[in-house]
Structure 1
Amino acid sequence: MSTTSTDTLATSQPDSGTPLLAQPADGAETEFLARIEQSINNLFDPIAAGLSSFVFYEVSLFGVEFPWIVAWLVLAGFVFTIYFGFIQFRGFKLATEIVRGKYSRDSDPGEISHFQALSSAVSGTVGLGNIAGVGVAVTIGGAGATFWMILAGFLGMCTKFVECTLGVKYREEHPDGTVSGGPMHYLRKGLAERLPGNVGKIAGTTLAALASVMILAFALGGGNMFQVNQTVAQLRDTTGGEDGLLAGDGAALIFGLVLALIVGAVIFGGIKSIGNVTSRLVPSMALIYISACAVVILFNITSVPDAFRQIFEGAFTGQGVVGGAIGALIVGFTRAAFSNEAGLGSAPIAHSAVKTRHSSTEGLVATIEPFIDTVVVCTMTALTIIIASPAIWHEGQQAVFESGDRSEAPDGVTVTSHAFETVLPWFPHVLTVAVVLFAISTMITWAYYGQKAWTYLFGKSNFSENLYRLVFCFFIVVGAVLTFGSVLDFVDATLFLLALFNIIGLYVLAPVVKRELRSFMTWVRSREVEKVD
């Protein structure tokens, strides 16, 4: 996904209590900002600590500690892959045909095309986690973590197929032509259908409400404030630091206001506006980043075979890595889970708006999302780091190995940036452009996710939706000025709690997905027969 993990946050965030806004000359203003920040931290610290201790509780496997939530996500990927007969591979060609509009009609219900739905969802996952998170994965888990990251990406493709099919199947169509979908709808409706009596109604309503609250919390925090926060930090670093463009009193605040106006102009236009923007923005930013990776890889083409050797050997030996092979496996799966969001229930919100009469069409399209995010983008980042800056990540590995403390590893963004710098000395500036594009696309996508959770909880009306959009834009300004790690821990925890509730529903509703897939495949075969006749 587009945020980094708890590991990355620990190394990338400024010290708690230090506002991003440069220190003003007026001591009263400084004290005022400090009081606001301290109040927010005091409010969220105990909540964040409690949630994090549960969500990221570590269990032991062969002497290696890892979060149970990661095992929960990976197990789901394995189960669904077997249950649906490796549909992420069998249906990949069909998925690309659907994206190109082969099976679409203008009269199909929905708001946006398959391609726009895919690009909107990808914009919420491809982002800073692909840049910084992979740097952390290679540093802590070694080259072998890349192998497990790719495997987790393939498993995540099937999980995305299940949840996005359900998102369309149980979406709600409103009188104005708009639609709402996501875990809050398929958990409520689906469980009521599948489970007997009041058990299904109570379970579905409860899980749907909890999912909505957590989606809303993350939309305002991780999908919003973290993004603008990192954008300000990256821009400041590449424009002269404390003496550059974003230095001085009020600079970050002004930048936050400008960014709020830009994002606000998009989100007030609804999902059609979001789809139009992301369908152009996502391919552009992906092209910039992947092209840079390709340049570095091609420049070091003779080192590529050895890099793949390190990836495969490290996956099963874990030589020099804390925890050995199991450690490499856990780090790879963890990074993939944070990056592609498979099983968390966020992507179905965007995919549910697609124009289609067959819900499984969008489930098939959704399989492309983890492929782009994890199998392509994360792998290219990892390969770039391994072949271009081995000294940097080996030093980071050694520091972690000797101390046993992950905080000793160099920052993920730094590792990735230095890898590019070995071939393209000017690339940190291009990387800044990519970070800005990633952040903007992530914010507008999560604004839509949060809006659907908001309207589910508080009702759908013009006043309600506009109020939410104003609140979202307000938090963009706040995020540009303040930093509070407790808020980020809180929203990280709520996002992963989605996996707990969402995947329970996916297991119960898997037979419904299989029925929807069978229906669509029958329809496709009948069309092919008609063409032959």
Structure 2
Amino acid sequence: MEWLYNFLTTIDGFLGGAFWFPYVLLGVGLFFTIYLGFPQIRYFKHAWLVITGKFDKESDPGDTTHFRALTTALSGTVGTGNISGVAFALYLGGPAAIFWMWATAFMGMTTKFVEVTLSHKYRVKTEDGTMAGGPMYYMDRRLNMKWLAVAFAVATVISSFGTGNLPQSNGIAQSIEATFGFEPWIVGSVLGVLLALVILGGIQRIAAVTARVVPFMAVIYLIGALAVIFANLENIGPSFTSIIKDAFTGSAAAGGFLGASLAYAFNKGVNRGLFSNEAGQGSAPIAHAAAKTKEPASEGMVSLLEPFIDTILICTITGLVILSSGVWKEKHENIFDRSDMYYVAGDYTDSNDADVNSLYEYLNEIDGNSVKPYTGTITVVNGTAVSDGYTLINARSVAENVKYYVGGDDAFTGTLEIDEGKPVKDNLEVRGKSLVHSAALTTIAFTRGFFGDFGQYIVSVGLMLFAFSTAIAWSYYGDRSMTYLFGPRSVMPYRVIYVAGFVWAAVSDTTLVWALSAVAIVVMTLPNLFGIMLLAKEMKQTINDYWSRVHK
């Protein structure tokens, strides 16, 4: 699968990884924030009143309540992005990445308000009597851009796998295996059956399940996180300081962490922020279209709470757990993913300032860096390399105590061929100490609190609930898109494939899954941002009309 990973990262380099994408994403949010007069602040209180049911009318069209629409949409955003995604952002960009996740969330509150309002306004009732909405409907019914609507719907189906399905299953399996020792295929199979039982019931069952799961999982996760934060209370102030300070300078090297430039941290923070709260992606409007109301703007106001809850609250808590515990800059024993490891020519160490500077430039893709991939051979005796002239980098850190194995626990003896930084041998397993990322990093951080090793179980259970609820919500996004493209009859085949993908992802490569999700997110986001910008004037008029009725 290495060729696929390389292909996906190349594509991502032109899309989400490109320098312009964060500016487009934040720029749209900033434009609407100013154009609409900071709605994320002005309508914040009113949004809470709406979800309490104060303005509900039983006769209003729709399939579910404001609260259940919100929890369904939240279940789609509160997932591995809050546990794995934050850890991944810190691993890539250091503390500075958290600041840019905040910025993405603040601007994203307005972006989500706009996309949900417009999508709800142009929703339709389908042949089976249920509501269907989302950006594809305003693109089709208002903008008369059928081609754009089709492109968005297709991207949503793809993204339902790349965002809501594959990364969630993979994150659950990784965490459960590390904590309880269950084989990933067993975890994937059992949860696949449960997933099928829920999504076959449609939006009513999905909303009912998420309305119970989301509050429960948030409380469990919060208790475990606070146990770490209070155990490391003296580090909370410095953690906040590093987040703010590093946002404008980049994150310096610390421990095994080799540092991140300002540009690199900005890019990764914005990308992980989008993966977490999905503002601008166009996914949440599909869930909110089911809400019982005649007022699109009121449902839009409910939706602006999502990035606040998801990123500014939950992601910040995760970030503080990881930063205050110090695990983000420590090396830990782990099995190296092939896509995370690469050999560079020359002997480098992270205890030498000159070496750290060279590796910093290499990892942050700074022009003119002198580090080159290693091509040659490595002699290994009883699992230990006895030749030199190279350095193994794993998870963006200098690997230590490296051991080579084949067929499980059989120590390798022989010669390894290295071509352009990658080992040629297929059945090779490499173990050692390096930085770790994603769910594994958060799991380690949760053991540094009052609960000790028991904290890892909180992460495992929390991740399972977070990720499973995300998979449920995204199945709905995908089936509404299939309904738009091919009609209600296409929904059942889609659900079968969706469940099969969920099972498969449990045993797939972690980094490959993240690479797929990165591409899918951007392919879905760009058409939606383009569409809502075209309807900016209508958006303002819709809000004014709503307030004229509310304040009568």
Q: TM-score range by the shorter chain?
A: 0.7 to 0.9
What is the CA-CA distance between 1:515 and the residue it aligns to? 1.5
Counterpart Cα distance in 1 of 2:188 and 2:330: 37
What is the CA-CA distance between 1:323 and the residue it aligns to? 5.5
Look up the match of 2:148: 207
Counterpart Cα distance in 2 of 1:366 and 1:253: 36
| Structure 1 pair 257–332 and aligned structure 2 pair: CA distance change class (3 A) | closer
**Residue-by-residue CA offset, 1:208-244 (whole Å, 9 max, x unaligned):** 111111111121344223322222222122123xxxx
What is the CA-CA distance between 1:205 and the residue it aligns to? 0.8
Look up the match of 1:91: 43
Paired amino acid for 1:184: M
| Structure 1 pair 264–103 and aligned structure 2 pair: CA distance change class (3 A) | same
Matched, 1:224 2:168: no
- For the 8 Å contact 1:188–1:208, the answer to whether it is kept is yes
Look up the match of 1:182: 134
| Structure 1 pair 150–477 and aligned structure 2 pair: CA distance change class (3 A) | closer
Decide which of 198, 214, 226 is 1:282's aligned counterpart.
214
Look up the match of 2:72: 120
Segments of 5+ residues of structure 2 without an aligned counterpart are 254-258, 333-349, 365-394, 398-434
- For the 8 Å contact 1:139–1:394, the answer to whether it is kept is no
Counterpart Cα distance in 2 of 1:497 and 1:184: 14
Look up the match of 1:79: 31
Look up the match of 1:313: 245
Decide which of 153, 161, 170 is 2:105's aligned counterpart.
153
**Residue-by-residue CA offset, 1:75-101 (whole Å, 9 max, x unaligned):** 111111011100011000000000111
What is the CA-CA distance between 1:521 and the residue it aligns to? 1.0
Counterpart Cα distance in 2 of 1:138 and 1:51: 23
| Structure 1 pair 154–221 and aligned structure 2 pair: CA distance change class (3 A) | closer
Q: Structure with the greater relative contact order (CA < 8 A, sep ≥ 6): 1 or 2? A: 1
Matched, 1:380 2:317: yes
Decide which of 403, 409, 415 is 2:359's aligned counterpart.
403
What is the CA-CA distance between 1:150 and the residue it aligns to? 1.4
What is the CA-CA distance between 1:177 and the residue it aligns to? 3.2
Look up the match of 1:516: 542
Decide which of 347, 354, 360 is 2:291's aligned counterpart.
354
Look up the match of 2:429: none
Counterpart Cα distance in 2 of 1:324 and 1:45: 24
- For the 8 Å contact 1:132–1:411, the answer to whether it is kept is no
| Structure 1 pair 371–401 and aligned structure 2 pair: CA distance change class (3 A) | farther
The farther-off stretch of 291-300 and 267-276 is 291-300
Decide which of 201, 218, 223 is 1:269's aligned counterpart.
201
What is the CA-CA distance between 1:387 and the residue it aligns to? 1.7
Look up the match of 1:259: 191
| Structure 1 pair 469–331 and aligned structure 2 pair: CA distance change class (3 A) | closer
- For the 8 Å contact 1:69–1:500, the answer to whether it is kept is no
Counterpart Cα distance in 2 of 1:47 and 1:422: 38
Counterpart Cα distance in 2 of 1:317 and 1:220: 36
What is the CA-CA distance between 1:117 and the residue it aligns to? 0.7
Secondary structure at the residue paired with 2:243? helix
Instruction: Looking at secondary structure, tell me which structure has more strand per residue.
Output: 2
| TM-score w.r.t. length of structure 2 | 0.77
Look up the match of 2:272: 335
Decide which of 447, 455, 462 is 1:427's aligned counterpart.
455
Look up the match of 1:454: 482
- For the 8 Å contact 2:170–2:510, the answer to whether it is kept is no
Look up the match of 1:503: 529
Look up the match of 2:329: 393
Paired amino acid for 2:329: W
Instruction: Looking at secondary structure, tell me which structure has more helix per residue.
Output: 1
Segments of 5+ residues of structure 1 without an aligned counterpart are 1-15, 18-40, 60-67, 193-203, 247-251, 527-533
What is the CA-CA distance between 1:253 and the residue it aligns to? 4.1
Look up the match of 1:444: 472
What is the CA-CA distance between 1:115 and the residue it aligns to? 0.7
Look up the match of 1:237: 178
**Residue-by-residue CA offset, 1:133-189 (whole Å, 9 max, x unaligned):** 222333443323323321221110000000000110010113543110111111112
- For the 8 Å contact 2:40–2:304, the answer to whether it is kept is yes
What is the CA-CA distance between 1:436 and the residue it aligns to? 1.0
Paired amino acid for 2:62: G
| TM-score w.r.t. length of structure 1 | 0.79
- For the 8 Å contact 2:79–2:168, the answer to whether it is kept is no
Secondary structure at the residue paired with 1:422? coil
Look up the match of 2:14: 54
Secondary structure at the residue paired with 2:497? helix
Q: Once superposed, what is the RMSD of the aligned Cα atoms?
A: 2.5
Decide which of 465, 485, 492 is 2:518's aligned counterpart.
492
Counterpart Cα distance in 2 of 1:81 and 1:190: 23
Paired amino acid for 1:408: R
Counterpart Cα distance in 2 of 1:344 and 1:477: 25
Counterpart Cα distance in 1 of 2:298 and 2:498: 32
